[in-house]
Every structure is written in structure tokens, then in C-alpha cells.
Amino acid sequence: MKQTQKILIVGGVAGGATAAARLRRLSETAEIIMFERGEFISFANCGLPYYIGGEITEKSALTLQTPKSFKLRYNIDVRVCHEVIAVNRNTKTVSVKNLQTNEIYTESYDKLILSTGAKPIDSDEFRSDRIFTIRNISDTYRIKDFLDTKKPQNVVIVGGGYIGLEMAENLYRAGLEVVIVQNRDHVLTTFDYDMACDIHRHIESKGIRLFLNHEVQSFTEKDGRLNITLNRNGEIVTDMLIFAIGIQPDSSLAQDAGLRLTSHGAIIVSETLQTSDPDIYAVGDAVSAVDYVTGQPVYIPLAGPANKQGRIAADRICGIDSRYFGTQGSAILRVFDMTAASTGINETVAKKNGLNYEKVFLRSTNHAGYYPGATNMLIKVIFERPTGKLLGAQITGYDGVDKRCDVLATAIRGKMTAYDLARLELCYAPPYSSAKDPVNMAGFVIENILTGKVKIFHWHDVTNLQKADHALLLDVRTPAEFGNEHIDGFINIPVDELRGRLHELDKTKKIYITCQVGVRGYAAARILVQNGFDAYNLSGGYRLWHSIFGTKPQSQM
């Protein structure tokens, strides 16, 4: 390692800032210059929506470091409002434009780190002072100023992903009437449809209109308002519109330099975070990563991986053999009062990769049910057959969702199996958990499936079973529960009466059992199987079925 090497960093947020600080801690003698096109470095990207909503009240809270603090602490030459406009690989220089003076100059490098991030996908035909995207602090101020000066009463948010829902929540909090338009059948497409249904209901319970399977086709502006035309169901008049339909790698610099990109435009890097030019590293939202679960290339822009990659790139440049082993997509979102978290792959990805997978749904309380304030969470775990390898998990609920998802994320990173989940020894006291934590329960449930103690069926099997002659549909809840609401075609024998009423069941049929959440159904299945029946238990029970089929979001009709 050359001690006096010169390192240039393009982009001063997340991965770039982390790389700069780590580089300096590893080398006092390196010359380090960090270029940032915007005015700010090291800003709290993920906090921007909360500033708009008013939860974060101080602008200063959004910038974690300033060029001055970075110079003092790390002796980094930070140049804000300086845009790197070209990488000249043959001369190992970059061309830089000072955006305040328009002066263009070149700077040489031994090593170059690209941390150019991602940019929002927007639609060129949608241009207006009332139409916004959100990427950086300037965008944030623009929206905030609009709220403060124009006092909009309502907003249409196009896109039901993480940013879309965060903006929905924060603008709702700021007092606006909110409409969400999403072009898919569910919001948060890192989640599966079945796990999004509770979230749809929760969003609608706040008075927000949710247009699923809808697109914005065009708009006109009239009397200071926007007239939005949807592809169906007509028009919406609104004071403002936010496009949050996704982001894409900001990789034009890399592309122009002839570095290898994926077909989606993400910079291709190795485990060492080197691009196709070994003197150029790339990190963060601009790069493609390996999916930690499938081993396939994937584009998952997240702050955690960006920061880790920045650290690793710095290590490599200073001769340390650090490597990046892939991204598993651990993500979390607060949706009003709810929390939605996921890690690993979802069913769509499992199917695309042709994996032999199964899934379970369980509903558990966040802490001991007898201790006040217990709330339910819905957990979906996807695992490989027959190994029990954990592939992914999705959780929605309230308190304690983040904890269970992080435990599952750790288990996935540690290449643990569902059997290991059953053995985890987690911290228990009544205010925090149960003696059998929800994650343990997931392990028990999967173990019972893998070892053949119970066979399951799913919510999407019900419709066919209702028409199938070979199927006997059995609801083992109490008569009161059954009488209140049940799925068409099911007959009722409470689990606690089942042993005495076996003669009522036709042994030539397959018995498909449901209860409320799956626990009693499992006990019933065990009774039936041991008495010679072929029985199946509905994973997630009636409660899950109802959340999917019970009541559609109004605007989804």
C-alpha cells in the first residue's frame, strides 16, 4: 500500500462520507478529496419525509456532518457544489465543474470511489410547480416551502413504495387530505400481496383513499390546482402531486466512463466493490449487489448496505481484505400506527428463482398476552424444502415487529434454519415477549411441517377447495366465532369436541381445517391424522383469509 495515495470520492452522502472517514482513520497521509454536487454532505436521507411532516423540526438535524466538521475531524478536503462531470480512466483523472463559478478543472487520482446514489424515476411530461419528487435536502425544502406558503389542502401521491407511504404519512400528519395511486395490486412490493392487505386496511382507516391497480395518465393545471386523470375511475383534483414511483441508479458518470453496468443501469461491482476498472470502486445506491439469499444479482438500494460498502471500499484501498457478501434487503417502515418489516426474499423472488419453498403465517402477540397492551403481529416466513433454510420473512403489526424482523435477519445472515429458530433463546419478561417468542413459534410451526407432523394449505387454495368434491372443509372454532363470521362451505366442529365427533366426518375425504389463526387448527389436525384422516391446516387461519378476502379497500373495487 502506498501511504501517500490520492483518493477521490464522488458523492458525499452515506457510502461516500463513510468511506472518507474510514480512509482517514486508516491513513493519515492519504490525500482525500470528496466531491458533492449538492450543498450538503452526509445528510439524513431517510429523515427527509419526517422533516416535511414536522416530526423533525430543525433543519440542522438533517445534516450529520458539514464540510467544516469533516475537515476538522478527518482532514478531508470536501468540495460541495462541485460536480464530477467525467471520469478519464486513461489519465486517471476526473473533470470537475464548480457549480458556483462554472469553472471546470481536472483532478488526478490513484483510487476513485463512486458513491453517486440513485435518482427518483419521474415522468418528463409531468412538470409543474405543484409536482414534486424527493431525493435530497433541496427537494425537501421545496416541498416544505410549498406547504408553508401555498397551504395545500390535499395531495396525490403516485407510488405506494417506502418513500410514497412515508410521504403519505407525513403529509397526513401535516394536515393534508391524502390520495395514494399505486399501479400494482398492493403497496410495498417488497412484501407479498397477502401481507399487504392489513396495511391497506390501516391506511384506509386513516381516511386516505388508496387507488390500487391505477395509474396517473395525464394532468392539467387550472386555477392553481391539478386535475389528474387516472387510467380508470376518472379524475382527481388536487393541490399538489408527489411522484414516488421508485428510484434508479444514478450511474451516468460510470456509464460514460465505460464501466460495466447491469441492464437496469446499476454499476457492477465485485465482492471487493471494485468496478470493471480495478482502480475505481463503487458503493451505495448506484451499484448492483448479490442477493445474499439467492446469490443472484439484485438492485436493493438501502442505507445500511451503502454505509457498510463505504467502509469496505476504504478498507480495500488501504490494503485490508474486507469483502461485501451481499444484500438481503432488510427494510422497515412505519405506516401510521403500524410497522411493516421484511428481510430476505419474498415469494415473487422465490418463484422467479425456481426455489422449492414453502411459507407459514402466524399471528402472535408482541409480549405476554396477560400483560397489558399486548398487540398482534402477523409473521410470514418463507423457507426452503426440505432443508428448512430460511429464505425470507415479512412482519406487520405494532410494537416488537422490528425486533422479530432483526432476529430473523440475523438468523438469515448466519445461514440458520427453521430448526434453529425453534432453539433460539431470546430474552423474556412479560413486558417484552413470551416464554415462547413469536420467532420460536415460527420455528416450531415450520419444524412440524418439515417433519411431516402437519400438512398445511393456504388462503389462495380456498376458492378451489370450496368447489372440490374430495374436500371436507372444517372450522374448529367455537360456535360463537363460527356464527359470527366464517368462510362459505366450512362446517363447524369445535376442536374441544372433535374427539367425540369424529364419526361425523367422512374418512374418504381430505379434511381442510381452519381456526382463527392456526393454533387450534394444528391441534385438530393432529387429532384427525392420528385417527386415520388426511388433514390439512389453513396457515394463518380465518383471520388471514378475512384480511385478504373479507373487505376489499373501497378504492380497489
Active site residues per annotation? 46
Q: Find the part of the chain contacting its own copies (CB under 8 A) among 274-282, 320-328, 353-361, 376-384.
A: 320-328
426 binds its own copies (CB under 8 A): yes
Residues 10-29 that bind its own copies (CB under 8 A): 14, 24-29
Q: Which is nearest to 399 in space by CA: 438, 426, 436, 361?
A: 438
What is the DSSP code (8-state) at residue 413?
H
223 binds its own copies (CB under 8 A): no
With CB under 8 A as the contact rule, the residue among 246, 297, 430, 553 that binds its own copies is 430
Nearer to its own copies, 83 or 402 (CB): 402
Instruction: Tell me the backbone φ, ψ of residue 556, rounded to 5 degrees.
Output: -90, -15
Please name the residue ranges forming H helices in 208-302: 252-256
Task: Tell me the three cell numbers of residue 228.
Answer: 389528474
202 binds its own copies (CB under 8 A): no
C-alpha 100: how far from chain center: 37
With CB under 8 A as the contact rule, the residue among 2, 206, 352, 423 that binds its own copies is 423
Q: Find the part of the chain contacting its own copies (CB under 8 A) among 118-126, 147-155, 326-334, 351-359.
A: 326-334
Q: Find the part of the chain contacting its own copies (CB under 8 A) among 140-148, 176-184, 219-227, 422-430.
A: 422-430
- For the bound state, the minimum distance from the C-beta of residue 311 to its own copies, rounded and expressed in Å, comes to 8
Neighbour count for residue 451 (Cβ, 10 Å): 11
Q: Which is nearest to 118 in space by CA: 293, 8, 244?
A: 244
Residues binding its own copies: number (CB under 8 A): 87
Angle between helices 438-450 and 401-413 (to 10 degrees): 50
CA distance 515 to 353: 33
- For the bound state, the minimum distance from the C-beta of residue 50 to its own copies, rounded and expressed in Å, comes to 6
1 binds its own copies (CB under 8 A): no
432 binds its own copies (CB under 8 A): yes
With CB under 8 A as the contact rule, the residue among 85, 272, 527, 553 that binds its own copies is 527
CA distance 16 to 307: 8
Within 13 Å, how many C-alpha atoms sit on residue 363's CB side? 20
278 preceded by a cis bond (ω within 30 of 0): no
Nearer to its own copies, 64 or 80 (CB): 64
320 binds its own copies (CB under 8 A): yes
The 57-96 contact track toward its own copies, x by CB under 8 A, reads ----xx-x-------xxxx---------------------
Q: Are 456 and 449 in contact (CB under 8 A)?
A: yes
338 binds its own copies (CB under 8 A): no
Cα-based angle 336, 339, 341 (whole degrees, multiple of 5): 140
- For the bound state, the minimum distance from the C-beta of residue 395 to its own copies, rounded and expressed in Å, comes to 10
Task: Tell me the three cell numbers of residue 419.
Answer: 430448526
CA distance 343 to 328: 6
Residues 494-523 that bind its own copies (CB under 8 A): 495-496, 499, 522-523
175 binds its own copies (CB under 8 A): no
